[in-house]
Every structure is written in C-alpha cells, then in structure tokens.
Amino acid sequence: EIVLTQSPGTLSLSPGERATLSCRASQNIRNNYLAWYQQKPGQAPRVLICDASSRVTGIPDRFSGSGSGTDFTLTISRLEPEDFAVYYCQQSGSSPWTFGQGTKVEIK
Amino acid sequence: QLVESGGGLVLPGGSLRLSCAASGFTFSSYWMTWVRQAPGKGLEWVANIHQEGSEIRYVDSVKGRFTISRDNAKNSLYLQMNSLRAEDTAVYYCARWSWAMDVWGQGTTVTVSS
C-alpha cells in the first residue's frame, strides 16, 4: 500500500499569500496518477488537479500542481477567501487507492 | 449528478445497502467508486468498479463484508455493507472516476452503534 504523507498539517496564511502544500509517497506513483482535492466543511470534496499537474476544467489558474515519482506539490499562487479549506492528495497508481491525511489552510 | 441514499443508524453486526443514482452523464462509460469519511477524519477510498462490473477492488478493511455493484440499465451504483462495525461509521460518498474522482454525491451518513 502506498502511504501518502502531507505536510504541513495546518498552514496559517493571509489572503493574497502563496500556499505551498506537499504530498510525499512511500513509493513511486505509477504514471504520476496523483490528484488533489479541496474540501470545505459540510461539503463533498472537489477535484482540482489530476495526473499530478493537469488542472481540471473550471479550476482557477491560481491552483497548480507539480512533481513526479514520490514528491508532489500543490501551489495556490494568491489565496482568495474561498480557498481556505482542507486539501487532500490521492493516488490511483496502484491498489489500494489511498489519500493523504490532509492539509488545512486556515486564515491567519 | 450523483445522489446517495440508504444511510442510517444500524446495530453492530447489522447490514445496510447504499444506493447512488446517477444522472446527466453516460453512467455505463465510467468507473465508479465509494469513498468514506469518518467524523472529523480524512477521506478513505472504499471500493471501485469497472464500467461493466468486470473488475472490482476493495480496501482491505472491508473485504469480505462489503460488496460494490452497479446496474447500468438503472444508472445506479450500490454498496452492500454486512457485518458492520463501529469503525464503519462515516459519511459515504459515491464518485465518478475519470482520471480522478471528478463528480461527487452529497454523501449519506452511516452510523453503527448500539
């Protein structure tokens, strides 16, 4: 099983600042099948990025994904008020599919 | 759109069947998946199923107890949950798979408690 470790656990930032979220895998993720999701309280998750770096249709371009192999990053270039949420990475390169434990981006 | 139903309160050892009704897309063209989230916790993938049901996978913790299935004629996904445990308490989401889980339902809550 591939374990995904996200860091930091909580990120305290102000609107307009840049957010950098990390996701590290315990082994290489086949074909970089890694996605990023955003979840707000009481809501279902929403996919932002697939295949490590492909932004999903409709997602603002301030969200970007990068990385390969075992190290991946989600960057939010300038935080908007609606971006404060919990973010999860998830791999589908091998079964069982797994999620990271999440990074909470909170208002400083 | 995906709409889950069938959640509720069940005794340990009991059973529930969750349903997920799909609309607005060609259901039979997509892998489908179930994901759960325990209260205050993160997301956990539970199971997924191939477009025609020919390939199915489960997380180890539910193998032998849960069964995922689909009925493409009814545009519906199911999760039969048997021998339920307290640790199965969670919001259960169904999601469409297209290189990521790109469409999600609103979730249905399962509570396993005496």
Residue pair A48/A55 in contact (Cβ under 8 Å)? The answer is: yes
pLDDT along chain B (114 residues), means of 10: 98 98 97 98 97 96 98 98 98 96 98 97
Cross-chain Cβ contact A97/B106 below 8 Å: no
Q: How high is the pLDDT of residue B106?
A: 97
Contacts of B92 in chain A (CB under 8 A): none
Cross-chain Cβ contact B105/A37 below 8 Å: no
Closest CA of chain A from B39, distance in Å: 11
Tell me the pLDDT tens digit for each residue of A82-108: 999 999 999 999 999 999 999 999 999
Tell me the pLDDT tens digit for each residue of A3-14: 999 999 999 999
Backbone φ and ψ for B46, nearest 5 degrees, come out as -110, -50
Cross-chain Cβ contact A35/B101 below 8 Å: yes
Tell me the pLDDT tens digit for each residue of A38-71: 999 999 999 999 999 999 999 999 999 999 999 9
Assess A72–B contact: CB distance below 8 Å, yes or no: no
Q: How high is the pLDDT of residue B86?
A: 98
Which residues sit opposite A15 in a β-bridge?
none
